[in-house]
Chain A
Amino acid sequence: MSAVGAKPQAGGAMDMPATIAGIILLLVIVGATYFMVGPGLMFMALIGIIIGGLAIAFGVHFVPVGGAPAAMGQAPGIATGVAMLAAGAGLAGLFGGAWAAEQGLVVAVVTGAVGGGLMMAITCMFVTFIYVFGMGIPCASGKVAKDPISGDTQAEFKSQGNEGHGLPFVSYVGGVIGGLLGGGGGTLIYIMLLDVYKEALPGMMQALPAQVLPIAVSLAGIFAIGMFLVNAVLTAYNITGTIEGPHDPKFKRFPRALVASAVASALCGMVAILIVAM
Chain B
Amino acid sequence: MESIAFGIGITALAGALATVAGAAENTESDIGSQGDPNSQVQLAPQMGYLHRIFNKAIAGEPPAYGLWVCLGAGIAWAFMAMQINPILALVLGSALAVFIQGVYATTAYLGRTASLAKFGQPVFVDVLKSMTTVTMAHAFVAIFTTVTMCHLINAALGHPFPLPLLGLVWGIALGAAGSATGNPFYGKERQYQSQKFGAGVPIAASGNIVRYAEAGERNSLDNGWFSAKLGGPASGLCFGLIVFLEIWRTVLFEQVGAGWGAIIVGIIMILIFAVIDRYIEVWARKNYGPYGKPAEEGS
Report which A residues bind B (CB closer than 8 A).
Answer: 2-4, 67-74, 78-81, 84-85, 87-89, 91-92, 94-96, 98-101, 103-104, 107-108, 110-111, 114-115, 117-119, 121-139, 150, 152, 155-169, 172-173, 176, 214, 217-218, 221-222, 225
B161 lies within 8 A of A125 (CB): no
Given the complex, which residues of B lie within 8 Å of A67, measured CB to CB? 36
A-B contact pairs, 20 of them (CB 8 A): A4-B203, A68-B36, A71-B37, A71-B186, A74-B206, A79-B179, A80-B180, A81-B36, A99-B159, A100-B254, A118-B273, A123-B238, A129-B280, A130-B234, A135-B184, A135-B189, A136-B197, A137-B288, A157-B291, A225-B169
Pair A96/B246 contact, Cβ less than 8 Å: yes
When distances are taken between beta carbons in the complex, the residues of chain A under 8 Å from B185 are: 130, 134-135
Beta-carbon contacts under 8 Å, B240-299 to A: 241-242, 245-246, 249-250, 254, 258-260, 262-263, 266-267, 269-270, 273-274, 276-278, 280-281, 283-285, 288, 290-294, 297-298
Q: Is the CB of A71 within 8 A of B161?
A: no
Assuming the contacts A135-B184, A156-B292, A160-B298, asked whether A217 and B273 have C-beta atoms less than 8 A apart, the reply is no
Known A104-B259, A158-B291: A130·B203 in contact at CB below 8 Å:
no
Considering residues A96, A124, A130, A225, which has the most beta carbons from chain B within 10 angstroms of its beta carbon?
A: A130
Let me know if B67 is at the binding interface, CB within 8 A.
no
Please give, as numbers and ranges, the residues of chain A lying within 8 Å of B245 by CB-CB distance. 118, 122
Q: Which residues of A contact B98 (CB under 8 A)?
A: none
Main secondary structure of the interface of B (DSSP, over half): helix
Closest to B169 in A: A91
B residues near A (Cβ < 8 Å) are 35-40, 60-63, 159-162, 165-166, 168-170, 172-173, 175-177, 179-189, 191-192, 197-206, 230-231, 234-235, 237-238, 241-242, 245-246, 249-250, 254, 258-260, 262-263, 266-267, 269-270, 273-274, 276-278, 280-281, 283-285, 288, 290-294, 297-298
A-B pairs, 3 with minimum CB distance: A88-B176, A161-B202, A73-B200
- Distance between Cα atoms of A133 and B175 in the complex (Å): 22
On whether the beta carbons of A95 and B200 are closer than 8 Å, the reply is no
Q: Indicate if the CB atoms of A80 and B61 lie closer than 8 Å.
A: yes
* B-chain residues with CB within 8 Å of residue A118 when the two chains form the complex: 242, 245-246, 249, 266, 269-270, 273
- Pick from B63, B165, B230, B281: contact of A139, CB below 8 A: B281
* B184→A121 contact, CB < 8 A: no
On whether A162 and B159 interact (CB within 8 A), knowing A87-B172, A138-B288, the answer reads no
Given known pairs A88-B176, A99-B159, the reply for A134 and B35 (CB within 8 Å) is: no
Specify which chain A residues have a CB less than 8 angstroms from the CB of B39 in the assembled complex: 68, 71
**Known interface pairs A129-B234, A138-B284. Does A80 touch B179 (Cβ–Cβ under 8 Å)?**
yes
Q: Are the C-beta atoms of A114 and B270 separated by less than 8 Å?
A: yes
Bound: A218/B260 CA distance, A: 26
A residues less than 8 Å from B184 (CB atoms): 70-73, 79, 127, 130-131, 134-135
- Residues of chain B contacted by A71 (CB below 8 angstroms): 35-37, 39, 183-184, 186-188
Bound-state Cα–Cα, A117 to B266, Å? 9
- The answer to whether residues A111 and B237 also contact, given A73-B200, A80-B179, A159-B200 and a CB cut-off of 8 A, is no
Question: Shortest CB–CB separation between residue A222 and chain B, in angstroms?
Answer: 6
List residues of chain B with CB within 8 A of the CB of A91.
Answer: 168-169, 172-173
Asked whether B298 lies within 8 Å of A159 as measured between CB atoms, the reply is yes
Whether the pair B159, A78 counts as a contact (CB closer than 8 A) is no
Q: A122-B242, A150-B278 are in contact. Are A139 and B199 (CB under 8 A)?
A: no
| CB contact under 8 A between A137 and B198, given known A126-B238, A131-B184 | yes
